[in-house]
Structure 1
Amino acid sequence: MAAMAEEHEIGDDELLDVADNPTQAASLHKALRTLANNSNVGPELQEMAKGVLSGRIGMKDVIESDRYMHAITGRLGEIHDAAEHLSPEDRRRSEERAEKMVREQEEAESGSAKRDDRRK
């Protein structure tokens, strides 16, 4: 992990070729950092995230790569299966966490838009 800190890391703007807007690019960047630093996602997804963050691999290359897309869809399948087996109480808590995350994201976007308006 120390080597990652020494490497160049791409900026949000370098993800705009696959993101619809700067907010989505920032979210993708954050997700890539999470994957890169989480050994629970498996070595292939960690390698992919670190490669994108360092600029060695482009997100378009990842999307076009059968190897990486297989790893991503496999992990999504595991998440879906786990969600299917949640107890009603765990499902309720998960939905509450998801709603909170959406509200926080909307608040962050709203705050960013207000800051942008003040700069104009």
Structure 2
Amino acid sequence: MAEEREIGDDELLDVADNPTQAASLHKALRTIANNSNVGPELQEMAKSVLSGRIGMKDVIESDRYMHAIGARLGEMRDAAEHMSPEDRRKSEERAEKMVREREEAENGAAKRDGRK
């Protein structure tokens, strides 16, 4: 059986502000597609976008997928509210690291493109 095609970062530029953001969205979609903890509906959505069967604009306009995203965000909020102080500190450190890495990637892309 042939492997299914996967979209490229550039195919997410219709909803992303720049190539770096499109790459981050692509990576997030892959993570969701491969994480059974997010639930079957979000996995299906991510796999459908990655395969090109649906676009991100279709996801945004879909009550079904937006409901699933909202429900998952609610679960995440509830979990965050019940975190221990140590787990909260570790989560904040991971988030800060991700922000630094994203900023470095954006700055590198801007330098390569001659924007800075």
Q: What is the total number of aligned residue pairs between the two structures? A: 115
Q: When the two structures are superposed, what TM-score results if normalisation uses the length of structure 1?
A: 0.89
Percent of pairs with identical residues: 88
Q: 1:52 aligns with which of 32, 49, 54?
A: 49
Unaligned runs of 5+ in 1: none
Aligned position for 1:40: 37
Q: 1:16 aligns with which of 5, 13, 16?
A: 13
Partners of 2:108 and 2:17 lie apart in 1 by 19
Deviation at 1:116, TM superposition (A): 2.9
Deviation at 1:100, TM superposition (A): 1.0
Partners of 1:6 and 1:56 lie apart in 2 by 14
Residues 76-91 of structure 1 correspond to what in structure 2 (within 5 A)?
76-91=73-88
Structure holding more helix per residue: 1
> Which portions of structure 1, spanning 4 or more consecutive aligned residues, are displaced by more than 4 angstroms?
none
Unaligned runs of 5+ in 2: none
Q: When the two structures are superposed, what TM-score results if normalisation uses the length of structure 2?
A: 0.91
For the aligned residues, what is the CA RMSD?
1.7
- Is 1:6 paired with 2:3? yes
SS at match of 2:54: coil
Partners of 1:37 and 1:89 lie apart in 2 by 28
Partners of 1:39 and 1:87 lie apart in 2 by 24
Aligned position for 1:30: 27
